[in-house]
Chain A
Amino acid sequence: GAVVSQHPSRVICKSGTSVKIECRSLDFQATTMFWYRQFPKQSLMLMATSNEGSKATYEQGVEKDKFLINHASLTLSTLTVTSAHPEDSSFYICSARWTSGYNEQFFGPGTRLTVL
């Protein structure tokens, strides 16, 4: 199956700093990647849809200036949480859509962000 990696898997940072999370499709090209956030005991919340070479499409209520998304290549998308605050602490998961299959999304392992 398609493999998606995510780095780092866990990060702890101080309030006010910025954190970058990388999402890579390892064995396929992903024209579309998705960024989700999941708070404890809640379902996935789509933050934004990222298309290679174009600006990301953000969901309502997600601040695009705070969550910067760059999808510079067919195998890499990055999410930067700028000026992180404790309320940004969450599990961030990326997924990549494999258009050769059922259009299913393959998920990265997730990044647990803790902002002190």
Chain B
Amino acid sequence: GQNIDQPTEMTATEGAIVQINCTYQTSGFNGLFWYQQHAGEAPTFLSYNVLDGLEEKGRFSSFLSRSKGYSYLLLKELQMKDSASYLCAAMDSNYQLIWGAGTKLIIKP
């Protein structure tokens, strides 16, 4: 079957770095997405990886290892506004997104 695993909740300190891991199993693979979702709002697109390696975009970076079925989202210089849920989603061979349950990130001062 198809499955996405990511931690339920993480806590980090303002100004620090946090890494949110995601492992996936899908029927075929057309890329790995990360979305940010603040409470009561719809998800917003953060990143897309389809090739192995690290993609950096400002304070956020995303890494993919296709052979390991593994990705992580790295958030640097954490700010209070980064408190949100982070959703990992893998796109299968039918271009359908398989969603993880999301990781709730709590930032403490």
A residues apposed to B, CB below 8 Å: 1, 6, 34, 42-44, 46, 49, 91, 93, 97, 102-110, 112
Contact = CB atoms under 8 A, between A and B. Distances in A.
25 contacts: A6-B42, A34-B97, A42-B101, A43-B87, A43-B99, A43-B100, A43-B101, A44-B87, A46-B99, A91-B40, A93-B42, A93-B43, A97-B95, A102-B31, A102-B48, A103-B30, A103-B95, A104-B45, A104-B48, A105-B45, A105-B97, A106-B45, A107-B42, A108-B42, A109-B41
A104 B33 contact: yes
Nearest to B50: A102
B58 to A, nearest CB: 15
A1 B46 CA distance: 12
Interface of B: 30-31, 33, 35, 40-45, 48, 50, 87, 91, 95-97, 99-102
A106 B42 CA distance: 10
Contacts of B33: 102, 104
Contacts of B40: 91, 112
B32 to A, nearest CB: 10
Nearest to A2: B45
Candidate in B42, B91, B95 with the most chain A CB atoms within 10 angstroms: B42
A59 to B, nearest CB: 10
B95 A107 contact: no
Contacts of B48: 102, 104
A103 to B, nearest CB: 5
A101 to B, nearest CB: 8
